[in-house]
Amino acid sequence: MSASHSAVPTLLEVQRALRRSLVEHDDGEAAGYILADGLASEGRLNVYRNTFIGALTTALRLAYPAVHRLVGPEFFEGAARIFIEKEPPRGAYLDEYGSGFPEFLAQFRQAASVAYLPDVARLEWTVSRALHAPDVEALDLSRLVAVDPADHGRIAFVPHPSVGLVQADCPADTIWRAVLAQDDAAMAAIDLGSGPVWLMVQRFATGVEVTRFSKQEWRFANRLCVDQPLQEALDDASGFNASAALAGHLAAGRFTGFRLETAP
């Protein structure tokens, strides 16, 4: 439906038309607003469309370097283009763009032969979040000491924004490391059938670390990180030393604060 050229479009109309052109390849209305001047509107719009796709593909490649290496640049760019048009960014802070890419890959038929790809992507997104998380001081332990021991069970921790927990059905951490190190021998030694892994991701001053936990330890950490009171997390913990695990989390600076859960 082309706009009447006699009526002057509003800024809102122009911007909506160009968005439809760039994201949905619907040039009809936008072309009517543009001076041809020796070059078809499509060629002019393509300059912006190429930057739109190019800049966002770069953002995804930076967030998913191992996925990029696993599938190769051509496949990655093709998948990225479809994803970008399906889920364009909702804001201009591109370090936050691409959270839906692992789920997109899980549903992407052309990637179905690489069954571990979505798990590696989920890990990479958690690593990317850790890399870009804001700087926040770890919990000052003297604040915990000041809590009445009778209230310890009601402590609900606030996790550090760089901390993330990932569960994968394959050794996603081993694959991720081998791919980024371009270590073919390590890659060849990976047993995809070795079972699930439970991972904790965290940024330290030295960089982002990915650590394997047992299933029970991971569940305990996960409960603490989703705002559950300490007593509930402890009640659920079995098969490992929960006090030692808690001390480890505190020493590693995995929490930035806490509140006292009010009794139900």
Contact 96, 56 (CB under 8 A): no
State how far the Cα of 156 lies from the Cα of 8, in Å rounded to an integer: 58
State how far the Cα of 139 lies from the Cα of 257, in Å rounded to an integer: 5
Looking up tokens 């209305």 gives 29
What are phi and psi for residue 213, nearest 5 degrees? -120, 165
Residue 158 in contact with another protein, rule: CB under 8 A: no
Out of 26, 65, 106, 131, the only residue in the binding site for another protein (CB under 8 A) is: 131
Out of 1, 4, 93, 149, the only residue in the binding site for another protein (CB under 8 A) is: 93
Q: Furthest-apart CA pair in the chain: how many Å? A: 80
H helix or E strand, kind and range, residue 234: helix 230-236
Residue 89 in contact with another protein, rule: CB under 8 A: yes
CB of residue 1 vs another protein: minimum separation in angstroms?
17
Contact 194, 174 (CB under 8 A): no
Q: Using the minimum distance from each CB to another protein, give the nearer residue, 52 or 108.
A: 52
Residue 5 in contact with another protein, rule: CB under 8 A: yes
What are phi and psi for residue 201, nearest 5 degrees? -115, 135
Tell how far CA 112 is from the center of its chain.
20
Stretch of 91-99, 165-173, 225-233, 250-258 lying at the interface with another protein (CB under 8 A): 91-99
Stretch of 7-15, 108-116, 165-173, 183-191 lying at the interface with another protein (CB under 8 A): 7-15
Out of 48, 100, 214, 241, the only residue in the binding site for another protein (CB under 8 A) is: 48
CB of residue 42 vs another protein: minimum separation in angstroms?
9
Q: Using the minimum distance from each CB to another protein, give the nearer residue, 22 or 67.
A: 22
Residue 44 in contact with another protein, rule: CB under 8 A: yes
Out of 37, 137, 148, 191, the only residue in the binding site for another protein (CB under 8 A) is: 37
State how far the Cα of 181 lies from the Cα of 178, in Å rounded to an integer: 5
Binding residues with another protein: total (CB under 8 A)? 47
State how far the Cα of 229 lies from the Cα of 189, in Å rounded to an integer: 41
Residues 135-154 touching another protein, rule: CB under 8 A, are 135-136
Residue 14 in contact with another protein, rule: CB under 8 A: yes
State how far the Cα of 60 lies from the Cα of 214, in Å rounded to an integer: 31
Q: Which residues bind another protein (CB under 8 A)?
A: 5, 8-12, 14-16, 18-19, 22-23, 33-35, 37-41, 43-45, 47-48, 51-52, 55-56, 59, 88-95, 131-136, 162, 203
